[in-house]
Every structure is written in C-alpha cells, then in structure tokens.
Amino acid sequence: MPSETVVQSQLVEPRVIHQERQEEAAKILHASAALRTPLFVVTPSRGWISLQLGNLWKYRELLYFLVWRDVKVRYKQTVLGVLWAVLQPFMTMVVFSIFFGRLGQMPSDGLPYPIFTYTALLPWQLFAGSLAASGNSLVVNRELVTKVYFPRLVIPLSAVFVGLVDFSVSFVILLGLMMYYGITPTVAVVCVPLFVLLALAAALAVGVWLAALNVQYRDVQYTIPFLTQFWLFLTPIAYPSSLVPEQWRMLYSVNPMVGVVDGFRWALLGQTTPPDTSTVVSLLVTSILLLGGLVYFQRMERSVADVV
Amino acid sequence: MSELAIRVENVSKRYRIGVRNTHPTLREALVNSAKRSVQGIQRLMHGRNGHQPENTFWALKNVSFEVKQGEVLGIIGRNGAGKSTLLKLLSRITEPTEGRIEGYGRVGSLLEVGTGFHPELTGRENIYLNGAILGMKKAEIDRKFDEIVAFAEIEQFLDTPVKRYSSGMYIRLAFAVAAHLEPEILIVDEVLAVGDAAFQKKCLGKMDAVARSGRTVLFVSHNMAAVEGLCSRAMWLHNGRIEAEGAAGKIVSQYLQRSFVTTTSCSWADIATAPGNEKFRLHSAAVRPVSGLATEPLTVRTPFTIEFSYWNLTPGAYLNVNIQLYNEQGILIFEAGPIHPPIWRPLPKGLYRDICYVPGNLLNDGVYRVVLKAVNNRGTLVYTAEDVLIFAVQDTSDLREGWYGEWGGAVRPVLEWDREMLQTDTPSVNESD
C-alpha cells in the first residue's frame, strides 16, 4: 500500500487520533494484503456443513451485548421491576402448595411441599422461559438478521442466557426458604451449576429447533405456550418422580427436565434419590437433540435472511 | 493500489416469488410436500424426470467484477435492479445461489442506519449495542466513544432513552456509530437519504475520509451527484446484470441518458401524419445544449435550446407557438413565447423554425416534458402538442461543496450572494430547550 493512505480529508477536522487510526488501518491493510488468501469466501453451501463453532467464539462480544440488552430492557417501565422474577415462581409455588400439597395430599419425598415444588420450579422456569425466548428469537430479531451478518446462533443462544438473571434472583428466595425450613445442603450442592447447565442445554436444544422452524412456519410461535404447558406436567414439579411406576421410569427420563429437576432436588435438598441411569438418559437425549438442532439450524441459517 | 479487495465470480441469486412476504403454515407445507411426492411418483411412473419450473426470478444473474483496495465503487441502477441483493451477498447476510465471492478484508456493512437500536436503552447504551452489532469490539467502542458522541452532537442526551430522541437526533447518533466503524471494506446502502443538510455534509465528509484512508468502499445510491462526487468507478446494474462499468462520471451519464424514456429530438417527414390540424402542423423538435454537441450531458448548469419547426398553413395567420415546461411532479415550471416585437405579425404560409434559449442554472435536476401550444392573436388555441419532448436534466457534483443531499425546489437558480461581518463580539445567549 502506498503512503498516500494517510491523507487528511479537508472535510474532517484534523485530529491526532484520526492520524493514528489511519496508520493503524494502513497496517491492517498491509497485513491482509500480504496474506493473499481471501479473508472470507461466500459460495452456495451444499449438504452437510460444519457447525463453525469457532466463528461463534469470534462473536462472543456480540453475544454478551445481546444478553446485556435483553437483561437491561427486561423490566424497564414496570412498577415491580425485578420482583417479577420472584413473583412468578413464588405464586406458582403457593398455588401448587394449596391445591396439590394441601388439598391433593401429593407426596413430596418427605420434604415440606412448598420447598419441594419451589426447588423444581426454579430450573423449570429457567428452561421454559429460555425455550420460549430462543424459539421466538430469530423472528423477534428479524431486523438484525436481515441487515447484518453474524453467526445466527448468537441469537437463540443469547435468548437462553437471559433467563439466568431471573433464575439467580429467584434462587435467593430459595435460600431463604431453605433457611426457614432448616434444610442444610450437603456437599452435593456443588453439582447445582451442572444441572443449571443441563437445563440451559435442554432449552437451547429445543429452542434452536423451534427458532429454525419458526423462520419458515409461524405456527411455531403458537405452539410454544402449549408445548411448555404440557411439558410442565411431564416433569416432576408438582409431584415426585417416584410416583412414576418403575417400568416407565426410563421412558419418563427421555424428558431431559426429569434429570434436571431430580438432580436439582438431590443437590439442594439432599433427601431424594441421587442421579442414576435416568439422569444419563436425560443427558443423552439432550445431547442428541442439541446436536441435531444445531445441524438443522446451520442448514437453515443460509436462507434465513431471505425467508424470515 | 492493485491489491484485490473483493472478487465476485459469476454470482447469481434466485428468489422464489412470494417467499419473502408469505410464511407458509405448517399445514400448507405438509399438503405441498404430499402433493409433490404424489407428483414425483407420477413422474416416475410416466418415465419423466427433472424439476417443474418453479415460480422464481433471478435477482442477480452471472455477475462478475473485482474491486481493488482503496477503490470507491458506486453501484447504480433502478429499484429492483439487484443492488440491494448484491450488497446483501457481499455482506454475507444471504448466500448466492450460484457463484463465488472472495473478500480480502473485514467487511462492515451499513445497509440501514440504526440497526438494532433499542428504544428503551439510552444513547450511551445504544452506542455499545449498535457498535457490537456492526462488528466493533468493546475496546474499540470505548476508544471511540467520545468521538462518536461529539460527531452525533448529543452530549446532553447521552443518558436519555433513545425513544425520547427527536428523529434527527436518533439518526445522527445512529450514523455516528456507523461512521466510526472501520472495516477494510465498507458497504453502504443509501444512507444519505437521511438527516438534515448539515449532517449529510458531515456524513459525506466522513465517507470521503474513509475512502482517502485507503479503505475500499462500495456505495449504493440513487443520488447521481453523490456517486459522481465520491466514487472513482461506478457499476450500473440492470435487471440483475451488469449493464456497464467504468469511470463514475461516464457511467452516471450513460445511466441517466438511457434509463429515462426520453425524446430529445423528433421530426415528422410526412406532413399529413404530423401532429397538428388544417392550420398548423409540427415538423420537428429538439432539445440540445447551446454548445451543439450532442454528447454533452445536459446538467443543471448547461444552457440549452428548445428548437422546433412547424408549418403555418393559413396565409397571413397571426400565429405564435408557446412552450410550456413541466417537471416530473406535473408542475408548470415556465411558459414562454416569442419576445421580439412586434410579437404579433402576419405569417405567410410556409415552414418556420423557433429557437428558445434556456439559460443554465435555472432548472433543477429531473425529467422535464415540453408542451407546445400554437395560439393566435385573438387568444384562441390553434393546437396543443403534448409531450413533444421529454428530457432529463442531470445534477452535477460541482458547486455542492461535499454535500449530496437532495436539492429542493422547482428551479435551481444560482443567485448573487453577499455576506459581511457586522460585529465581532456576541451578546450572551441563554440556551433553552
């Protein structure tokens, strides 16, 4: 590159900073010109393609800012603000305690029913909220998708992470409840992050499928509330999984949230059965769903801007 | 300056008609795929193969070009010519159906100002968000933050949610962030259509600076003056293909001359079929620059003539032919007739030619049509010839001093202007909102 790259425009006030930037830019140009291999190549993609997770890593700052945006905006212009994060699981717990715990005399593995159900509601709400958010994320962010390039996976991924804020807030309430009922967690408490991660993975696994389908078929946005509603009853939240007959237990564990919720109760409250093969089944199902979802998502990614 | 920045090879992009705006429901998709499989089976049974031609169109077809580093390429063409599709492909927002694009540098694209702005967030927050979306690193935004704020002139409102901004402030902020994006290849789509005059000038200055710093710029605009002023090279897209490519000035004038249906000269050899009646018949008409060079483009500054010849078929008629000039909006810009006295005099039968001299620096840019009105001295209309001539007046980049916004007004005179300073000290001003 010739030295004339450092020419001041007459229209812009000359500034030292400007000069520096231009020199820096000239350096970048030198560097890329020296390489002589294209920085990127765009061709029609065919068949199976790699997941390009390295590319995702390059865009981690964007991921951070999208999460940050949604967190910032979440409770803007609300009276109760972040209290909403607590109110939802808490009220659900109250209702469940009255109807299932008191009136329905539901067994709760020897634990006080309110804390039994609240401990399950936390990962559940994280899962259900993240699933809904990521499932709708591409459509909600269509303005971005059609105007700027970045790995599309950033969008459902950021939607999943946003749920962690609400989760953390309502987790504080759980600690209060545990103190109230005099429950001291065992060493197993260190496993909590693992089960949180599993809940997020499960939400992302289903979320990317739904997000990709939603681009093409808007039916998905109406399906999501139904899906989470049914799923709630397939997950041991209002009842213990010990209620499910032994011979059905493996099939039951195909629902990844069974492993998450049982694991959560075990890690925090200690008195239920420790993770066993059913947890492994949940883990396996989540992995398969996630991998399949990522592949499907990548295949859809190329046409998303044309279709969404 | 011969290093390559972008290479585009035989790129085509096909869209299915209707896909963009209609979202098939799951049921339709199921029904369609069922239909297709039935058809597929039928085809198999009848021994036919191959695809049914679908309802598709090619937004781009076999487009190949190269852009060198440091070059500023203007892309022009009508709506639907494929400009935006091309930019989307180059920005990697969508993929080509066929072909290959190689990019030798980090691409920053500005297809819209303010992409990803969130109304609930403050100006400060949106600078970071928008910067990240456009591909800046946080450290980079930190470094340029003050510059961005100063450029946008929104210091006092930095912590106000942007939903409370005026539209001008919003656009200024959005452009300020974008303007500080420093990719090696900058792709810009029609961003000059926004903002007030002063701000546009600033934006253009910024783009100019980007180009001068050796970066590559691809610039789509409908504003020919801007393309001419900023770009070294231009590419004209027409129906998804490259119609012409070359020096910006040349391509712009080719585009303007060929893309409007203009009639800059016409004549009627046969008097019987020429427009007119038993008293008056047109013979020819033309609009041309005073210089007489047919190749000289007609710009807002060019003096030109409107000439026409006609048959007077009534001996001794008091006949005059007036010109009416209308612009695209149908506004009558002027009406003119003969000015040399005696204005009314009897004309013997025969062929006449009138020449009307229109000075430069009178008309604004745009497309004009000429209506000829033959009248007699009693004020009665003898004949009206509608739209005898249709011609385009082009904008020029000189006199604009780096500002390329739309120049308003039905006419565009260059007026005498004086300025003198009356006092050096200024009384204090109380700022109010």
| pLDDT tens by residue, B321-350 | 999 999 877 788 999 999 888 888 899 999
> Is the CB of residue A170 less than 8 Å from the CB of residue A89?
yes
What distance, in Å, lies between the first and last C-alpha atoms of chain A? 41
Which residue in A5, A64, A217 is closest to B213 by CB distance? Answer: A5
CB contact under 8 A, B133 and A65: yes
More confident: A285 or B112: A285
Q: What pLDDT does B23 receive?
A: 54
- Give the containing element (helix H, strand E) for A66: helix A60-74
Please tell me whether residues B10 and B91 are part of one structural domain: yes
Look at residue A119 and tell me if it is in a domain: yes
Q: Average of pLDDT values for B384-389?
A: 88
| pLDDT tens by residue, B112-166 | 777 888 999 999 999 999 999 888 899 999 999 999 999 888 899 999 999 999 8
Which residue in A21, A42, A69 is closest to B182 by CB distance? Answer: A21
Query: CA of B405 to nearest chain A CA: how many angstroms apart?
Result: 16
More confident: A275 or A234: A234
CATH, residue B142: 3.40.50.300
Q: Average of pLDDT values for B21-46?
A: 63
Within 8 A by CB and 6+ apart from B258, the residues are none
Q: Which of these ranges, A151-155, B46-50, B188-192, has the smallest mean pLDDT?
A: B46-50
CB contact under 8 A, A144 and B116: yes
Please tell me whether residues A34 and A55 are part of one structural domain: no
Q: What interface predicted TM-score (ipTM) does this complex get?
A: 0.79
CB contact under 8 A, A25 and B106: no
Q: Per this entry, what is the length of chain A?
A: 308
> Is the CB of residue A38 less than 8 Å from the CB of residue B184?
no
**Count: domains in chain B:** 2
Q: Which residues of B touch A57 (CB under 8 A)?
A: none
* pLDDT at B21 > cutoff 70: no
Q: Which domain holds residue A20?
A: 1-39
CB contact under 8 A, A73 and B118: yes
| pLDDT tens by residue, B201-222 | 777 777 778 778 888 999 888 7
Tokens in use for B64?
Answer: 């190949």
Q: Average of pLDDT values for A44-71?
A: 80
For A220, the closest chain B residue by CA position comes to: B26
Please tell me whether residues B226 and B84 are part of one structural domain: yes
Cα atoms in the Cβ-side hemisphere of radius 13 Å centred on B376: 15
- Residue B376: C-alpha distances to residues A153, B258, B315, B347, B350 (Å): 76, 38, 13, 11, 16
Q: What pLDDT does A13 receive?
A: 36
Print burial letters for B26-43: b (CB count within 10 Å at least 16), e (below 16).
Answer: eeeeeeeeeeeeeeeeee
Q: What pLDDT does A304 receive?
A: 82
More confident: A34 or B105: B105
DSSP letter (8 states) at residue A150 = S
Please tell me whether residues B84 and B233 are part of one structural domain: yes
Q: What pLDDT does B403 receive?
A: 67
Query: CA of B364 to nearest chain A CA: how many angstroms apart?
Result: 26
pLDDT band at B110 (very low <50, low <70, confident <90, very high): confident
* pLDDT at A21 > cutoff 60: no
Q: Average of pLDDT values for A184-213?
A: 92
Q: What pLDDT does A98 receive?
A: 93
> Is the CB of residue B215 less than 8 Å from the CB of residue B184?
yes
For B111, the closest chain A residue by CA position comes to: A147
pTM of the predicted structure, to 2 decimals: 0.71
Q: What pLDDT does B174 receive?
A: 86
Query: CA of B196 to nearest chain A CA: how many angstroms apart?
Result: 17
CB contact under 8 A, B214 and A29: yes
Query: CA of A38 to nearest chain B CA: how many angstroms apart?
Result: 5
Please tell me whether residues B86 and B213 are part of one structural domain: yes
Please tell me whether residues B238 and B280 are part of one structural domain: no
* pLDDT at B406 > cutoff 80: no
Look at residue A240 and tell me if it is in a domain: yes
Q: What pLDDT does B125 receive?
A: 93
CB contact under 8 A, B184 and A29: yes
> Is the CB of residue B214 less than 8 Å from the CB of residue A26?
yes
CB contact under 8 A, B99 and A65: no
Quote the mean pLDDT of chain A: 83
Look at residue A44 and tell me if it is in a domain: no
Look at residue B232 and tell me if it is in a domain: yes
CATH, residue B299: 2.70.50.60
Q: What pLDDT does A278 receive?
A: 81
Q: Average of pLDDT values for B284-296?
A: 85
Mutate to test the interface with A, among B185, B212, B216, B397 (most CBs of A within 10 A): B212
Please tell me whether residues A186 and A216 are part of one structural domain: yes
CB contact under 8 A, B104 and A216: no
Look at residue B79 and tell me if it is in a domain: yes
Please tell me whether residues B224 and B334 are part of one structural domain: no
CB contact under 8 A, A38 and B104: yes
Please tell me whether residues B208 and B291 are part of one structural domain: no
For A12, the closest chain B residue by CA position comes to: B205
CB contact under 8 A, B104 and A33: yes
Domain's final residue, options B234, B258, B282: B258
Quote the mean pLDDT of chain B: 84
CB contact under 8 A, B213 and A7: yes
Look at residue A13 and tell me if it is in a domain: yes
Query: CA of A7 to nearest chain B CA: how many angstroms apart?
Result: 6
Q: Which residues of B touch A75 (CB under 8 A)?
A: none
* pLDDT at B95 > cutoff 60: yes
Cβ–Cβ pairs < 8 A, chains A and B: 180
Look at residue B402 and tell me if it is in a domain: no
Q: Which residue has tokens 């003050």? A: B146
> Is the CB of residue B46 less than 8 Å from the CB of residue B223?
no
CB contact under 8 A, B102 and A217: no
Q: Which of B119, B13, B11 lies closest to B63 in space, CA to CA?
A: B11
* pLDDT at A117 > cutoff 90: yes
Which residue in B98, B147, B215 is closest to A44 by CB distance? Answer: B98
> Is the CB of residue B149 less than 8 Å from the CB of residue B174?
no
Q: What pLDDT does B179 receive?
A: 79
Q: What pLDDT does A131 receive?
A: 95
What is the C-alpha to C-alpha distance for residues A40 and A25, in angstroms, rounded to an integer? Answer: 19
Please tell me whether residues A117 and A206 are part of one structural domain: yes
Q: Average of pLDDT values for A97-113?
A: 88
Look at residue A45 and tell me if it is in a domain: no
Q: What pLDDT does B261 receive?
A: 67
Q: Which residues of B touch A216 (CB under 8 A)?
A: 23-24, 29
Q: Which domain holds residue B203?
A: 4-18+60-258
What is the C-alpha to C-alpha distance for residues A65 and B347, in angstroms, rounded to an integer? Answer: 81
Mutate to test the interface with A, among B1, B22, B27, B94 (most CBs of A within 10 A): B94
* pLDDT at A7 > cutoff 50: no
Q: Average of pLDDT values for A140-148?
A: 89
